[in-house]
Structure 1
């Protein structure tokens, strides 16, 4: 590899284009230090600077056959590094914005999910309380609230007076209000 030290960057890159790994190593060793310092200065993060340098050289090798350099090779490297750093900064800003928005979305999602869970649980408990009502009262209540029948229709169907239907509904609502009030204190 010492033999490559005397060659110009442009000549070395011509060798790299043909797949010469030794020429590639010489270019890497020649520029990794100065590019790293430049990247650290711009990024203010040593690990990120190192990643950018490695990415730059990985792309250089991967695209070696298609890269066209119009100026001196070192200017190409500095420009490519600068562009990669700007892209990195832009991605970092986008990632930071995304991460900043996550807690709000998570809180909202958790809040909605929590509310739905509590609502479903409360509905199940109300159904349980309805099932605990005396049989005739429960039957009248369910025909009124679930089947949406009028007092007259319920009275005809069950062969009881409308007054009895009204009393059953009033009494069942009174019982359920007390129990729901207790349940809502527990859940909300």
Structure 2
């Protein structure tokens, strides 16, 4: 069995592009901690930093055949920084949305809007029940139980990327469905 610890980054990249799993494993072992630290220095969240590091390497493997990498360490660090920025942007948007929601007062609710909100929630629950079984289960774990991606992945013995894909799929389906029943509800109140 060949030992990859003495390979240069260029030799490892060549092996990676040819689908050599051992070359990928050596890249992972060599750079995982550095990528984790890059993410952690910006996120200050161990679990999220692990997710980002895993996503960097999952992407590297998935795109191994057609990505052109000149300097491996720079490529991985840049990928991590982009994922960190995306995570920060999502967190900021979520925080801003939560703040706006918190600032809206309950006294603004009228009987009509309360009724409309109940109807929307009922229709939404019906749409959730129509989701494919695996997708519905993952979505409910995420939404109802507040489980993190890694927790869901561990519980269902799947990858975190699969969890993210299933949640994205559920949200896409629900978004499309919500358009149709929002039009229906608007017609009720016109």
1:54: how far off?
0.5
Aligned to 2:179: none
- 2:25 aligned with 1:11: no
1:87: how far off?
1.4
Aligned residues: 115
Q: C-alpha offsets along residues 29-72 of structure 1, whole Å, 9 cap, x if unaligned? A: 111112212211111111110010011111111111121113x2
Matched residue SS, 2:65: coil
Aligned to 2:67: 67
TM-score of the pair, normalised by structure 1: 0.54
Superposed CA RMSD in Å reads 2.4
Aligned to 1:113: 111
Aligned to 1:95: 94
Q: Please list every run of 5 or more consecutive structure 2 residues that lacks an aligned counterpart in the other structure.
A: 116-190
1:106: how far off?
8.0
Q: Distance in 2 between matches of 1:113 and 1:22?
A: 64
Runs of 4+ displaced beyond 6 Å = 114-117
Which structure has the greater CA radius of gyration?
A: 1
Change (3 A) 1:73 1:112: same
Q: Which has the higher contact order (CA 8 A, sep 6+)?
A: 2
Q: Distance in 2 between matches of 1:39 and 1:76?
A: 14
Change (3 A) 1:100 1:116: closer
